Structure 1
Amino acid sequence: MLTIYAPAKINLVLEVLGKYDGYHQISSIFQTINLCDTLRFQLAEGISFKCSEPSLERNNLVTKAATLLKKATKYNKGGRIELGKNIPWGVGLGGGSSDAASTLLALNKLWELKLPVSELVYLAAKLGSDVPFFIYGGTALVEGKGEKVTPLPSLPLTWFVLLVPPLAKIQDKAKQLYSRLDASHFTKGQFVQAALPSLRQGKTLAPILMFNVFEKVAFDFLPNLAKYKKSFEEAGAASIYLVGSGPCLFTFVSEEGKANELCLRLRKQGLECYVASSFPG
Structure 2
Amino acid sequence: MYTSEKAPAKINLTLDALRKRPDGYHDLEMVMTTVDLYDRIDLTSIDGTSIQLDSSSGLVPQDERNLAYLAARILREKTGVRKGVHIRIEKNIPVAAGLAGGSSDAAATLRGLNRLWKLGLSLEELAQIGAEIGSDVPFCVYSNTAIARGRGEVLEPIPAPPKCWVVLAKPSQGISTADVFGRLRVDQIEQHPSTSHMVDALKKQDLKAVIGSMGNVLEPVTMAMHKEVSRLKEKMHLFGASGVLMSGSGPTVFGIVPKESRAKRIVNSLKGFCEQVYAVRMLGVHRSSLLD
Alignment correspondent of 2:200? 197
Deviation at 1:238, TM superposition (A): 4.1
- 1:233 is displaced (CA, Å) by 3.1
SS at match of 2:82: coil
Q: 1:93 maps to what in 2?
A: 99
Instruction: Indicate the larger mover: 199-208 or 58-67.
Output: 199-208
SS across alignment from 1:42 = strand
Output the amino acid matched with 1:274: Y
Partner of 1:183: 186
Deviation at 1:199, TM superposition (A): 1.7
Identity %: 33
In the aligned structure 1, how far is the partner of 2:190 from the partner of 2:150?
14
Letter in 2 for 1:76: R
Q: For 2:90 and 2:265, locate their aligned partners in 1 and report how far apart those are by CA, in whole Å.
A: 27
Alignment pair present for 1:166 and 2:169 = no
Matched residue SS, 1:86: coil
Cross-structure match for 2:130:
124
TM-score norm. by structure 1 comes to: 0.93
Q: Which residue of 2 aligns with 1:73?
A: 79
Match of 1:134 in 2: 140
State the match for 1:272 in structure 2.
Answer: 276
Q: Quick one: distance in 2 between partners of 1:224 and 1:264?
A: 18
Q: Secondary structure of 1:54's match? A: coil
1:82 equivalent to 2:88? Answer yes
1:114 alignment partner AA: G
1:31 is aligned to: 33
Pair 1:43-2:49 in alignment: no
1:212 aligns with 2:213: no
1:103 and 2:113 correspond = no
Q: Give how far 1:21 is off.
A: 2.8
- Aligned 8 A contact 2:20 2:186 in 1: no
Alpha-carbon distance between aligned partners in 1 of 2:128 and 2:191, rounded to the nearest angstrom: 26
Q: Is the contact between residue 100 and residue 136 of structure 2 (CA under 8 Å) also seen in structure 1?
A: yes
Q: What per-residue deviation string (whole Å, max 9, x for no partner) do you get for residues 139-174 of structure 1?
A: 11101111101111222212111111122x34xx11
Question: Are the aligned partners of 1:17 and 1:187 in contact in 2 as well (CA < 8 Å)?
Answer: no
Aligned twin of 1:222? 226
Q: What TM-score do you get using the length of structure 2 for normalisation? A: 0.89
Q: Structure 1 residue aligned with 2:235, among 208, 231, 234?
A: 231
Q: Which residue of structure 1 lines up, in the alignment, with residue 290 of structure 2?
A: none
TM-fit CA distance, 1:78: 2.1
Equivalent position to 1:53, from 53, 57, 62? 57
Measured in 1, the distance between the counterparts of 2:59 and 2:279 equals 26
The question of whether the paired residues in 2 share the 8 Å contact of 1:62 and 1:100 is answered with yes
Q: Distance in 2 between matches of 1:192 and 1:55?
A: 34
Q: CA deviation at 1:236?
A: 2.9
Partner letter of residue 195 of structure 1?
A: M
Aligned residue for 1:194, secondary structure, equals helix
Write the letter of the residue equivalent to 2:154.
Answer: K
CA distance in 2, matches of 1:111, 1:96: 22
Q: Is the 8 A contact 2:172 2:274 kept in 1?
A: no
Corresponding residue pairs, total: 278
Could you say which residue in structure 2 is the equivalent of 1:11? 12
Match of residue 259 from structure 2:
255
1:200 to partner: Cα distance: 2.8
Structure 2 contact 202–210 (Cα < 8 Å) conserved: no
Deviations 1:197-254, CA, capped at 9 Å, x for gaps: 2223444353221110011211111243222223333333343210111111011111
Greater shift, 174-183 or 186-195, is seen at 186-195
Where do 5+ consecutive residues of structure 2 fail to align?
Answer: 287-292
